[in-house]
Structure 1
Amino acid sequence: MAVTNLTVLESDQATPPGWTKIGVDLNEGAGGEYLYFAYELDGTDRPITDIYFLIGEDLPTPPGYEKISVDLNKGAGGTYIYTTFTRAAGDPIQDLAVISSSDPGANPPNGFKRIDVDLNTGAGGKYIFLCYRT
């Protein structure tokens, strides 16, 4: 199985049919909008092989990446953070998880790698990290 699509759900936005919503608020403890990652496994698109966060408001999307146009600090202040991903050659991402912790060095779940970008940067609240498994 591989992750073939990724999105950010806002507030009570419905999870698309067949997708998995990760039930950790990306603004936990910081106020702002309730935001959640959701992903699709084994859809019709090619697998996602890398996820990269843009830290800033008007940064260009890296070549070959798709941008999700939702600021992960929406309504919470803090730094503008946008999610991008690619389907380029590489190991497909098999699973995703979000960790929320008061510890900036929180370890990812067993078998996962943590992307070292606090998704609450500048907004206070918990340290929020996206983790993936290939």
Structure 2
Amino acid sequence: MFLVFLVSASTFLWSCDKAKDTVQPDALTATQVQKVKSGKDKEDKDNKYKTDKIGQYVSKDVQITGYEDGRERPTRPKYDAVGDLGGYSVAPCDPCEPGGGGVPTPPTSTFVSSEGLQGIGDIYNLQFIKDSDPLPSAEPGYTRLNADLNRGAGGKYIYLEFTRDALAIKSSHPNYAERNYPVTDIKAQGYSTGMTRYWYPPTGFANIYEHTCQCVTPDAWFDYKIIDLNDGSKGKYIYAYLSKHSSQGTPIKEVGILYGNSSSIQPPLGWVKVSQDLNEGAGGDYIYFCYKK
């Protein structure tokens, strides 16, 4: 009988440990993110030192390189707070009991917008600024929305900029010929493979470019380039587009960024959410463009 008790106690303790180690579907919050440990091999760090048990969130110390040729990139796991897997997080168990654990993880989100910035009026252009450091300076005449489009997924800091002033659009900008027309639509799309040099937007749309001062030959005159919104991260290659055609409706008055732990998050009433997750396949938060007409 004493031997049976020992075996039962051992089984009980083993079950408790396993329950604590089990990863349930969950979108971890920012407070649960741990810094990636430093080391010589950048690529190794992403495999050896996970920032959470499912590997969804990584620090900016993680930069994925070697995919400049546009080939398909690996992905990170990503769980939805109200997705098909139920959205449950591990609850403390002391003692552990069969069938115990699991509390609902409610959707949480943050919304950043252009409202109250640059006065009022139509949006005349959108572009991105990318840097290795947070909060880089916007191009003169533009205002940056302070929401990193690579949030929680490592990679570069990438921000959306907007202007209500058509005169802020430089003559070197690829969309300069349409500078006097306001933006009427925004879209983004994820691809398994990326561009190598040129990328053609969907019919009726133009690329939203990255503003850059790192101009080298053969495009030394060129201040703008097409940008992958998952640059330095994993997952899909994400490209963004805008339209100025009247066929897409009335001009856009405001733009915004919505991010959180669920694909179900929604912007305030009166805003339109663009359906493409800007972190698709890269882990991190769910991130969406939004606009208001």
The one-letter amino acid of 1:34's match is Y
| C-alpha displacement of 1:16 | 1.5
Would the aligned equivalents of 2:189 and 2:276 in 1 still touch at CA under 8 Å?
Answer: no
Q: Which residue of 1 aligns with 2:204?
A: 64
Amino acid at match of 1:97: G
* Identical columns (%): 35
Give the C-alpha shift of residue 111 in structure 1.
2.0
Aligned to 1:54: 189
**CA offset digits 1:6-29 (Å, max 9, x no partner):** 001102542012211110000000
Alpha-carbon distance in 1 for matches of 2:283, 2:159: 17
Quote the residue 2:127 is aligned against.
Answer: 7
Out of 65, 85, 101, the position equivalent to 2:242 is 85
User: What residue identity is the alignment partner of 1:78?
Assistant: G
Q: Secondary structure at the match of 1:31?
A: coil
- Deviation per CA, 1:106-128: give whole Å up to 9, x if none: 11123211001110000000000
Q: 1:43 aligns with which of 133, 149, 166?
A: 166
Partner of 1:22 in structure 2? 145
- What is the number of residues matched between the two proteins? 134
Q: Return the structure number with greater relative CO, CA threshold 8 A, min gap 6.
A: 1
Separation in structure 2 between the aligned mates of residue 36 and residue 18 of structure 1, nearest angstrom: 15
1:32 shift after superposition: 0.4
More helix by share: 2
Offset of residue 70 of structure 1: 0.6
Larger CA deviation: 12-21 vs 73-82: 12-21
Name stretches of at least 5 consecutive residues in structure 1 with no aligned partner: none
Runs of 4 or more off by more than 3 Å in structure 1? none
Amino acid at match of 2:232: G
Q: Secondary structure at the match of 2:289?
A: strand
Whether 2:120 is the aligned partner of 1:120: answer: no
Aligned-partner Cα distance in 1 for 2:165–2:252: 11
Paired amino acid for 1:116: S
Structure having the higher strand fraction is: 1
Range that drifts further, 31-40 or 53-62: 53-62
Determine helix, strand or coil for the equivalent of 1:3: coil
Counterpart of 2:205, as a letter, is Y
> C-alpha distance in 2, partners of 1:97/1:133?
8
Larger Rg: 2
1:130 alignment counterpart: 289
- Normalised by the length of structure 2, the TM-score is 0.44
Per-residue CA deviation, residues 38-87 of structure 1 (Å, 9 max, x unaligned), is 01113242101111213222463122321131100000111001111111
Partners of 2:278 and 2:268 in 1: CA distance: 17
Change (3 A) 1:18 1:60: closer
After the TM superposition, which of the residue ranges 8-17 and 47-56 deviates more from structure 2? 8-17
